């Protein structure tokens, strides 16, 4: 995780029909060892979900998207999918987006505890790791914990009840950070596979957020990818693991220099050549502006 997509405390998204917020323009990690790459039964599995899965959304490689977590939600973009906050977005807003023919991806943090979330009290002290640097009120989670996994199952149940088509679980690369817990590439693979399986069991599509070092291993088990700043960090090449399977990569750049059309042109040319659906957004993901490489 380099620049985390996180919802701010106490901010509620509300529907605004029409253009509000922004200009409305649509325009060296270590890879896991071979022994950890084989698909295995989750070592730390909780009781299997018995929910019957329905046919889930299969995103196409050309699908366009918008992502906004804070501020007044601008629903005017002619995109296939909206990525919005699971907790802060009212069910009515999701229903409005779906009535417009949009797919809805619901964001939650799967690898950290945020003290403003309504289910925060369900985490135990043993579940908690170190604070996330730069993110007040947020701590890494022990993703091996059966309690943590039950909470994530409940969050996916909430996504189903609110009408989400997919989920965007964030912070699924703790082992590459400093979580204050004995998390490894192996435990991360186990957890990320757990998240994918639980989403699919509920008829939800699921995206892999960042976790660059494990993209090759996990691409077959996820329906799409969400990446932050792979052009900045020169990591975009790994996403052929998704695009080669016809799965979309929803990609975000935050550098304000890309607000300039001339500077953005080579970025968009590279993104289109690599089949990455790239947008330039403010890092707060508040809808203040949006520049898209796909018309």
Select from 107, 112, 101, 102 the least CA-distant residue to 88.
Answer: 107
Range of the domain at 216: 57-292
- Average pLDDT, stretch 145-172? 98
Residue 32 lies inside a defined structural domain of this protein: no
- The dihedral of CA 32, 247, 291, 6: what is its sign? negative
For residue 202, give the CATH number of its domain: 3.20.20.70
pTM: 0.86
pLDDT band at 181 (very low <50, low <70, confident <90, very high): very high
Number of domains observed in the structure of the chain: 1
In a domain? residue 3: no
* pLDDT at residue 233 is higher than 60: yes
Interacting residues of 93 by C-beta distance below 8 A, sequence separation 6+: 13, 14, 15, 73, 75, 84
Structural domain contains residue 2: no
Residue 127 covered by a domain: yes
Say yes or no to pLDDT of 43 above 70: no
> What tokens were used for 13?
């998204």
Residue 45 in domain: no
- Mind listing the pLDDT tens digit for each residue in 273-283? 999 999 999 99
Please report whether residue 38 resides in a domain.
no
Mean pLDDT to the nearest integer, 78-85: 98
In-domain check, residue 187: yes
Confidence of residue 12 (pLDDT cuts 50, 70, 90): very low
Decide if 196 is inside a domain: yes
User: Among candidates 198, 103, 98, which has minimal Cα distance to 158?
Assistant: 198
The average pLDDT across 226-251 equals: 98
Residue 45: pLDDT band (50, 70, 90) is low
Query: Is the separation of the CB atoms in 96 and 155 below 8 Å?
Result: no
- The fraction of the chain above a pLDDT of 70, given in percent, is 81
Q: What values do phi and psi take at 122, rounded to 5?
A: -80, -20
CA distance 61 to 249: 7
More confident residue, 2 or 170: 170
Of the candidates 278, 217, 232, the residue with the CA atom closest to the CA atom of residue 32 = 217
pLDDT band at 16 (very low <50, low <70, confident <90, very high): very low
């Amino acid at each position: 995780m380099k620049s985390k997509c996180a919802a701010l405390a106490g901010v509620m998204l509300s529907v605004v029909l029409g253009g509000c917020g922004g200009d409305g323009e649509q325009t060296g990690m270590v890879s896991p060892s071979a022994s950890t790459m084989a698909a295995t039964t989750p070592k730390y599995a909780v009781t299997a979900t018995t929910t019957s899965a329905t046919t889930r959304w299969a995103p196409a490689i050309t699908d366009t998207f918008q992502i906004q977590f804070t501020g007044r939600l601008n629903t005017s973009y002619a995109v296939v999918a909206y990525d919005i906050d699971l907790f802060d977005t009212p069910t009515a807003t999701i229903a409005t987006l779906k009535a417009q023919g949009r797919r809805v991806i619901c964001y939650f943090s799967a690898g950290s505890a945020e003290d403003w979330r309504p289910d925060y009290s369900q985490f135990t002290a043993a579940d908690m790791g170190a604070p996330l640097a730069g993110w007040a009120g947020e701590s890494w989670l022990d993703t091996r914990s059966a309690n943590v996994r039950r909470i994530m199952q409940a969050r996916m149940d909430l996504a189903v009840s609110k009408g989400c088509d997919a989920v965007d679980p964030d912070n699924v690369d703790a082992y590459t950070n400093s979580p204050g817990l004995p998390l490894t590439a192996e435990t991360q693979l186990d957890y990320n596979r757990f998240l994918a399986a639980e989403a699919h069991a509920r008829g939800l599509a699921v995206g892999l957020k960042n976790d660059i070092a494990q993209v090759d291993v996990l691409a077959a088990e996820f329906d799409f990818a969400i990446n932050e700043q792979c052009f900045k960090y020169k990591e975009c090449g790994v996403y052929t693991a998704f695009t080669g399977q016809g799965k979309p990569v929803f990609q975000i750049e935050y550098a304000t220099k890309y607000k300039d059309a001339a500077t953005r042109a080579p970025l968009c040319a590279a993104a289109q050549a690599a089949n990455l659906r790239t947008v330039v957004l403010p890092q707060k993901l508040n809808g203040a502006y949006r520049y898209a490489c796909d018309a």
